[in-house]
C-alpha cells in the first residue's frame, strides 16, 4: 500500500465540546420534538426517531471510536424480528419485548464484534459486511421470520400494563422517551472516562496500548453498546410499524445509516438526528416523485462528500466555532 498522506479523517472534530452549548442544543431539540406532532404526521415522526437512534448509535462507533461498520443493519433487523416475534408469538408486553430484543442484538454484537475487532480499517468494515450478509441469509431461511412476507400484525398492547400504545399520540411520546433515553445514554458514554479512552484509541491506538489499556476490550465494549442501542431502535421500530421485514437486515440499510450520519455530520452528537430526519422525510414526502428518489439520494451523497463533508450540523457548528 502507499504512503498515506491523509489530511482529513472521517472521525469527530478535535474541538472540545462546550457543555453549555450541548445543553442548549439538547433542550432545543427536545422541545422541538415535543411540539412536532402538531406540525407533522406522528407516524412519520416515530419512524424518524427510530432511525435517529439507529444513526446515533452507529455514529458512536464510527465518529468516536473510528470504526466504520458496513453491517449495522444486522442489529436493527434482528432486533426487529426478535421483538416482533416475542410480542406476537410469545405474547410478552411491549416493554419486555423491546428490552429482550435489544439485549439479543447486544449478544449478536458480542459475537460479531469479537470476530470483527481483530482487524482494522477497511478490513474491519468488510468483516462486518460479511457477517451482516450471513445474518441476512439466516433471517431469510429461518421459518420464524416468514421470509419476505415478514412478521405481520405485531400487537402493540399496553406498556407497563396501562399505557395504551394503540393511541398514536401516546405511542409517540413513548417512542420519544425511548429515543431520549438512548440519546442520553450515548452522550453519557462519550463523556465518561470510558469515552475518553475510546477517543484516545481512535487518535493513536499504539500509544493507548503502550499506556497499558487493553484496547481490544474497549473497542469490543463500544461495539456491543452500539449494537444494543441499535437493537433498541430496531425493536421499537417494529412495534411502531407493526411489522418486521427483510429490508431492515439488507445491506442497503447499512448504507442508509451511513448516508444519514454523513448528511447530518459524522462525529457530531446531533448530526445523526438531523440526518435521519432528513432522509426519512425524503423517503416519505418524495414518494410521490417515485422514480427519482434514488437519484436524489445519490446526488445528496455526492454533494455531501464533495462539499459538505462535515454534514449539516458539522457545518453549522464550524460556522459558530462550536462543537455540537
Partner 1 sequence: MRSSVAIGALAAALAWAGSAAAQNKNVKIGALSDQSSLYSDIGGPGSTLAAQMAVEDSGLTAGKGWKIDVISADHQNKPDVGTSIARQWFDVDKVDVIVDVPNSGVALAVNNVVKDKNKVFLNSGAGTSDLTNKACTPNTIHWTYDTYALANGTGSALTKGGGDTWFFLTADYAFGAALERDTTNAVTKSGGKVLGTVRHPLNSPDFSSFLLQAQNSKAKVIGLANAGGDTTNAVKQAAEFGITQSGQTLAALLLFISDVHALGLNAAQGLTFTETFYWDMNDQTRAFAKKFAAKMKSGAMPTMVQAGVYSAVLHYLKALDALGSNPDDGAKVVAKMKEMPTDDPLFGKGTIRADGRKIHPAYLFQVKKPGESKGPWDYYITKATIPADQAFRPLAESECTLVKK
Partner 2 sequence: MIPLLGISTQALFGQLLLGLINGAFYALLSLGLAVIFGMLNIINFAHGALYMVGAFCAYFLLNLLGLNYWFALIISPLVVGGLGMIIERTMLQRLAGLDHLYGLLLTFGLALIIQGVFQNYFGSSGLPYAIPRELAGGTNLGFMFLPNYRGWVIIFSLIVCLATWFMIEKTRLGANLRAATENPTLVRAFGINVPRMVTLTYGFGVALAALAGVLAAPINQVRPLMGADFIIVVFAVVVIGGMGSILGSIITGFLLGLVEGLTKVFYPEASNTVVFVIMAIVLLVKPAGLFGRTA
**Among residues 1, 14, 294, 321, which is the contact residue for partner 1, using CB under 8 A?**
294
Contacted entry of partner 2, partner 1, none for residue 245, CB cut-off 5 to 8 Å set by kind: partner 1
CA–CA gap between residue 234 and residue 98 (Å, rounded): 9
Residue 94 or 109 with smaller CB distance to partner 2: 109
Task: Decide: 64 and 190 in contact? Cβ < 8 Å.
Answer: yes
- Give dist(CA 41, CA 35) in Å, integer: 12
**Count of residues interacting with partner 1 (CB under 8 A):** 30
**Residue 158 bridge partners (DSSP):** 164
How far apart, in whole angstroms, are the C-alpha atoms of residue 143 and residue 243? 16
Candidate segments 71-79, 101-109, 116-124, 138-146, binder of partner 1 by CB under 8 A:
138-146
* Residue 44 contact among partner 1, partner 2, none, beta carbon within 5 to 8 Å by kind: partner 1
Give residue for cell 429482550: 100
**275 by DSSP, 3-state: which?**
helix
For residue 164, the cross-strand partners are: 158
Q: Which does 230 bind (CB under 5 to 8 A by kind): partner 2, partner 1, none?
A: none
Residue 113: phi, psi to the nearest 5? -65, -45
> Among residue numbers 198 through 237, which ones bind partner 1 (CB under 8 A)?
237
Distance (Å, whole) CA 139 – CA 253: 15
Q: Which residue among 100, 246, 257, 262 contacts partner 1 (CB under 8 A)?
A: 246
Q: What residue 23 binds from partner 2, partner 1, none (CB within 5 to 8 A, per partner kind)?
A: none
Closest separation between CB of residue 152 and partner 1, Å? 5
| CA dihedral of residues 220, 191, 273, 120 (deg, nearest 10) | -30
Stretch that binds partner 1, among 17-25, 40-48, 65-73, 189-197 (CB under 8 A): 40-48
Sites for partner 1 among residues 76-135 (CB under 8 A): none
Instruction: Catalog residues that contact partner 2 under the rule CB under 8 A.
Output: 1-3, 5-10, 68, 115, 118-123, 125-127, 129-131, 133-134, 136-137, 141, 251, 255, 258, 262, 291-295, 297-302, 304-306, 309
Three-class SS state of 201: helix
CB of 95 vs partner 1, minimal distance in Å: 21
- Rg over CA atoms, the chain: 19
Amino acid at each position: 500500500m502507499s504512503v498515506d498522506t491523509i489530511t482529513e479523517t472521517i472521525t469527530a472534530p478535535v474541538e472540545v465540546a462546550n457543555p453549555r452549548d450541548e445543553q442548549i442544543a439538547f433542550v432545543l431539540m427536545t422541545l422541538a420534538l415535543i411540539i412536532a406532532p402538531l406540525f407533522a404526521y406522528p407516524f412519520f415522526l416515530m419512524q424518524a426517531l427510530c432511525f435517529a437512534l439507529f444513526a446515533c448509535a452507529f455514529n458512536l462507533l464510527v465518529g468516536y471510536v473510528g470504526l466504520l461498520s458496513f453491517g449495522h443493519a444486522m442489529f436493527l433487523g434482528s432486533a426487529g424480528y426478535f421483538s416482533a416475534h416475542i410480542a406476537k408469538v410469545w405474547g410478552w408486553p411491549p416493554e419486555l419485548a423491546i428490552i429482550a430484543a435489544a439485549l439479543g442484538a447486544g449478544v449478536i454484537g458480542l459475537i460479531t464484534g469479537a470476530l470483527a475487532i481483530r482487524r482494522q480499517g477497511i478490513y474491519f468494515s468488510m468483516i462486518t459486511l460479511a457477517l451482516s450478509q450471513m445474518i441476512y441469509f439466516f433471517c431469510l431461511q429461518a421459518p420464524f421470520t416468514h421470509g419476505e412476507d415478514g412478521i405481520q400484525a405485531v400487537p402493540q398492547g399496553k406498556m407497563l400494563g396501562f399505557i395504551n400504545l394503540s393511541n398514536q399520540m401516546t405511542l409517540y411520546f413513548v417512542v420519544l422517551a425511548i429515543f431520549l433515553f438512548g440519546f442520553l445514554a450515548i452522550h453519557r458514554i462519550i463523556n465518561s472516562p470510558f469515552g475518553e479512552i475510546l477517543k484516545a484509541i481512535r487518535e493513536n491506538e499504539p500509544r493507548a496500548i503502550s499506556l497499558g489499556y487493553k484496547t481490544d476490550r474497549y473497542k469490543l465494549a463500544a461495539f456491543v453498546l452500539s449494537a444494543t442501542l441499535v437493537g433498541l431502535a430496531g425493536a421499537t421500530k417494529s412495534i411502531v410499524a407493526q411489522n418486521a421485514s427483510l429490508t431492515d437486515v439488507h445491506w442497503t440499510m447499512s448504507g442508509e445509516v451511513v448516508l444519514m450520519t454523513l448528511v447530518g455530520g459524522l462525529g457530531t452528537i446531533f448530526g445523526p438526528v438531523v440526518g435521519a430526519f432528513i432522509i426519512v422525510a425524503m423517503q416519505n414526502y418524495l414518494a410521490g416523485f417515485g422514480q427519482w428518489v434514488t437519484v436524489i439520494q445519490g446526488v445528496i451523497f455526492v454533494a455531501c462528500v464533495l462539499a459538505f463533508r462535515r454534514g449539516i450540523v458539522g457545518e453549522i457548528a464550524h460556522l459558530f466555532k462550536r462543537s455540537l
